């Protein structure tokens, strides 16, 4: 399998949903400590059950990186899982593999619920990338997935680089 | 130098990588090992293996003799001048795991005792993390100030003087409060060779209280280094970058300073007498070699010294200058390729760091790997430098005695393939 297949090169050349987002509900940084690749994802959410209301007692954080977990009346997990990603964008510095992976994933998760997102696996990423990548580049391919999975964590800022072992 | 003959000594070149003959251009990360070194290590384990400095039995005596002979051999390798033999006994060779451990030994056993609040540590932006993080950490712990000296013309591309230490800034950084100056002999990214002998005079003049530690990991494998004549207090290097096995490194330190230092690690071997109440320390160099040492590694390193001296370090250097000149000449002709560091091959070691247009170095490395060519990519354990150069990552080809012009030609061919794969059209060249 050619690593630099058409699909990957296309997304490298013109990455989808690339750029910073104003008024994002959540920003997640992910770093690959081995090579220094960085990606930052921006998300906007809407609740499936009730529309998002800024400043209310709604569980949706009203400021970027200010996730008011403690004040939420609803069951945390349920509430979080019910969210839908209405918009997503990313910026970063990285190789073609990680840029393409971020671009393809950003397209794939838009409009999806957080619950659906929690089921995303490394295999799914391979499928989206049109096949597996060589072992040396696994971390590049999975960096964006790791970032996106930060949504599932209660500490949403996810400023800590994480390992890929759980993939 | 007969490269064909040299190459035949390295079994790894029998390997094919992705169906292609291996072109190994990552010796700055670690060198390949000749069969002479492998045989020396084998012979030790097959015929002489025993613990050192402990037993009365024959094997233990043989192992101890071989280990101490290896120390003498390594010492000779880095003490070439006539002055060195006059000064004999000024310095001491301590075996460590690698250069990183050697630096940490100094940071713990000397630094934490002698560097405190208000003191200053001077280092440079071109350091490998191994000669940066320990000092950053020490400064943070003990309330000292870490000063990082920049380079000249860093943002630019290939050019005269590019990538050299900013000596004016270096002088300005040195004060009476400076307790330690930690610099690389040779940059692992830019290949910049620092004139340590001259810099040491500057340090003595402007920072009389400072000790000078030099990281020679990229110098000792590639050029004649006579540590005793450099005017340094500590000098570190590692075996695996100079044809030796992994897991054996060297701290050279001035005897009088080492004598004054407490031990780094405690345990067996490093003691003189142990009672329930107290313990006294062994003499140098064993005071700093707690636990069973890497005897096989030391013997392998000694064999590597033999191998390199067989070629002659001046010949090694000449060969690498030639290859570097050839590589810079060929790579600069490829539109889109940007090379970092000095244009003057005589002023740099055999490392050529470059980028290909906007393509990430990992992608360059992956495509080259498919062609059987091994290069390094990323931040080269020198993140502050890569940031300073204003790029996300850097590709690096580094040369050694087993490389020839045909390897450079394969590299050039590979880089052209990178450009073709990514279909980049760029008019950035170094010729402008």
Q: Domain ranges for chain A, please list them.
A: 6-152
Report how far residue A146's alpha carbon sits from residue A163's, in angstroms, rounded to the nearest whole number: 8
Suggest the residue from A12, A33, A95 to mutate for an interface test with chain B (most B CBs closer than 10 A).
A95
pLDDT value at B350 more than 90:
yes
What pLDDT is recorded for position A100? Answer: 95
Measured between CB atoms, does A34 come within 8 Å of chain B?
yes
Task: With cut-offs at 50, 70 and 90, classify the pLDDT of residue A78.
Answer: low
Percent of chain B past pLDDT 90, that is, above it, reads 85
Separate counts of helices (H) and strands (E) for chain B: 15, 17
Question: Pick from B361, B366, B422: which is nearest to A9 by CB?
Answer: B422
| Phi, psi angle pair for A66, to nearest 5° | -120, 75
The mean per-residue pLDDT over the stretch B221-235 comes to 97
Answer left, alpha or beta for residue B6, where phi above 0 means left and psi between -120 and 50 means alpha.
alpha
Domains and CATH numbers, chain B: 3-30+313-422 (3.90.1150.10), 43-309 (3.40.640.10)
State yes or no: is B305 an active-site residue: no
How far CA B107 is from CA of B131, B141, B170, B293, B372, in Å, comes to: 10, 11, 21, 21, 40
pLDDT value at B427 more than 70:
no
Answer left, alpha or beta for residue B27, where phi above 0 means left and psi between -120 and 50 means alpha.
alpha
Task: Give the model confidence (pLDDT) of B164-211 as tens digits.
Answer: 999 999 999 999 999 999 999 999 999 999 999 999 999 999 999 999
A–B interface: beta-carbon pairs under 8 A: 48
Q: In what order do the strands lie in the sheet with B351-356?
A: B337-339, B351-356, B394-398, B376-378
* pLDDT, greater one: B284 or A155: B284
The chain B residues in contact with chain A (CB within 8 A) are 359-363, 366-367, 369-370, 377-379, 383, 386, 392-393, 421-423
Report how far residue B152's alpha carbon sits from residue B168's, in angstroms, rounded to the nearest whole number: 10
Query: Per the CB < 8 Å rule, is B370 touching A3?
Result: yes
In A, residues 51-110, which contact B (CB 8 Å cutoff)?
93-97
Q: Based on the number of CB atoms within 10 Å of its own CB, is A94 exposed (0-12), middle (13-18) or buried (19 or more)?
A: buried
The mean per-residue pLDDT over the stretch B19-47 comes to 98
Pick from A25-39, A57-71, B89-103 the range whose average pLDDT is largest: B89-103
The mean per-residue pLDDT over the stretch A74-81 comes to 53
Lowest mean pLDDT among B59-63, B137-141, B236-240, B378-382: B378-382
Question: Pick from B379, B386, B421: which is nearest to A4 by CB?
Answer: B421
Which chain B residues are Cβ-neighbours of A95 within 8 angstroms?
A: 360-363, 393
Cis bond before residue B285 (omega within 30° of 0): yes
Q: What is the pTM of this model?
A: 0.88
Token representation of residue B272: 């003189």
Q: What is the ipTM of this complex?
A: 0.78
**Greatest Cα-to-Cα distance within chain A, rounded to the nearest angstrom:** 51
CA distance, residue B413 to nearest chain A CA (Å): 17
* pLDDT, greater one: A46 or B45: B45
**Are B415 and B338 a contacting pair, CB within 8 Å?**
no
Task: Give the model confidence (pLDDT) of A109-126 as tens digits.
Answer: 999 998 888 899 999 999
SS3 A64: coil
pLDDT value at A74 more than 90:
no
CATH architecture of residue range(s) A6-152: Alpha-Beta Complex (3.90)
pLDDT value at A145 more than 90:
yes
């Amino acid at each position: 399998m050619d690593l630099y297949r058409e699909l990957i090169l296309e997304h490298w050349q013109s990455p989808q949903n690339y750029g910073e987002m104003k008024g994002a509900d959540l920003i997640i940084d992910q770093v690959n400590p081995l090579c220094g690749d960085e990606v930052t994802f921006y998300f906007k959410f809407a609740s499936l059950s009730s529309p998002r209301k800024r400043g209310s007692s709604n569980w949706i954080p009203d400021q970027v990186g200010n996730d008011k977990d403690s004040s939420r009346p609803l069951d945390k997990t349920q509430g979080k899982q019910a969210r839908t990603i209405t918009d997503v964008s990313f910026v970063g510095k990285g190789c073609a593999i990680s840029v393409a992976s971020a671009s393809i994933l950003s397209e794939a998760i838009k409009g999806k619920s957080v619950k659906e997102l929690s089921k995303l696996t490394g295999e799914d990423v391979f499928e989206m990338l049109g096949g597996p990548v060589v072992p040396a580049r696994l971390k590049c391919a999975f960096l964006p997935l790791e970032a996106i999975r930060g949504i599932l964590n209660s500490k949403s800022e996810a400023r800590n680089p994480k390992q890929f072992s759980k993939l | 130098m007969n490269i064909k003959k040299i190459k035949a000594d390295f079994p790894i070149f029998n390997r094919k990588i992705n169906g292609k003959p291996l072109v190994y251009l990552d010796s700055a990360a670690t060198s390949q090992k000749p069969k002479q070194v492998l045989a020396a290590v084998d012979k030790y384990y097959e015929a002489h293996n025993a613990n050192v400095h402990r037993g009365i039995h024959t094997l233990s005596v043989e192992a101890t003799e071989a280990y101490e002979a290896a120390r003498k051999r390594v010492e000779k390798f880095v003490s070439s001048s006539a002055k060195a033999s006059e000064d004999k006994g000024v310095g001491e060779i301590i075996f460590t795991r690698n250069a990183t451990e050697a630096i940490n030994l100094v940071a713990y056993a000397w630094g934490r005792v002698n560097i405190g609040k208000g003191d200053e540590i001077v280092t440079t932006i071109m350091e490998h993390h191994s000669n940066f993080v320990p000092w950053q950490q020490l400064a943070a712990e003990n309330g000292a100030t870490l000063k990082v000296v920049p380079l000249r013309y860093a943002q630019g591309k290939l050019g005269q003087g590019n990538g050299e230490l900013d000596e004016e800034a270096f002088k300005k950084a040195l004060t009476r409060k400076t307790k330690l100056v930690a610099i690389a002999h040779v940059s692992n990214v830019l290949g910049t060779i620092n004139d340590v002998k001259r810099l040491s005079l500057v340090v003595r003049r402007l920072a009389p209280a400072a000790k000078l530690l030099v990281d020679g990991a990229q110098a000792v494998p590639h050029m004649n280094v006579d540590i005793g004549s450099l005017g340094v207090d500590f000098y570190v290097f590692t075996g695996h970058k100079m044809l030796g096995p992994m897991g054996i490194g060297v701290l050279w330190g001035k005897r009088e300073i080492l004598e004054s230092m407490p031990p780094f690690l405690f345990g067996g071997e490093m003691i003189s007498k142990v009672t329930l109440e107290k313990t006294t320390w062994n003499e140098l160099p064993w005071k700093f070699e707690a636990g069973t040492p890497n005897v096989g590694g030391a013997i392998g390193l000694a064999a590597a010294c033999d191998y390199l001296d067989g070629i002659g370090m001046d010949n090694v250097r000449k060969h690498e200058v030639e290859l570097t000149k050839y590589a810079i000449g060929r790579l600069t002709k490829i539109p889109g390729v940007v090379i970092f560091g000095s244009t003057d091959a005589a002023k740099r070691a055999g490392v050529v760091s470059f980028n290909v247009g906007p393509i990430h170095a990992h992608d360059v490395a992956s495509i080259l790997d498919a062609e059987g060519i091994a290069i390094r990519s990323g931040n080269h354990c020198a993140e502050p430098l890569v940031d300073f150069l204003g790029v996300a990552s850097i590709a690096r080809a580094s040369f050694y005695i087993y490389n020839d012009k045909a390897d450079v030609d394969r590299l050039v061919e590979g880089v052209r393939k990178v450009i073709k794969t990514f279909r980049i059209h760029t008019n950035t060249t170094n010729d402008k």
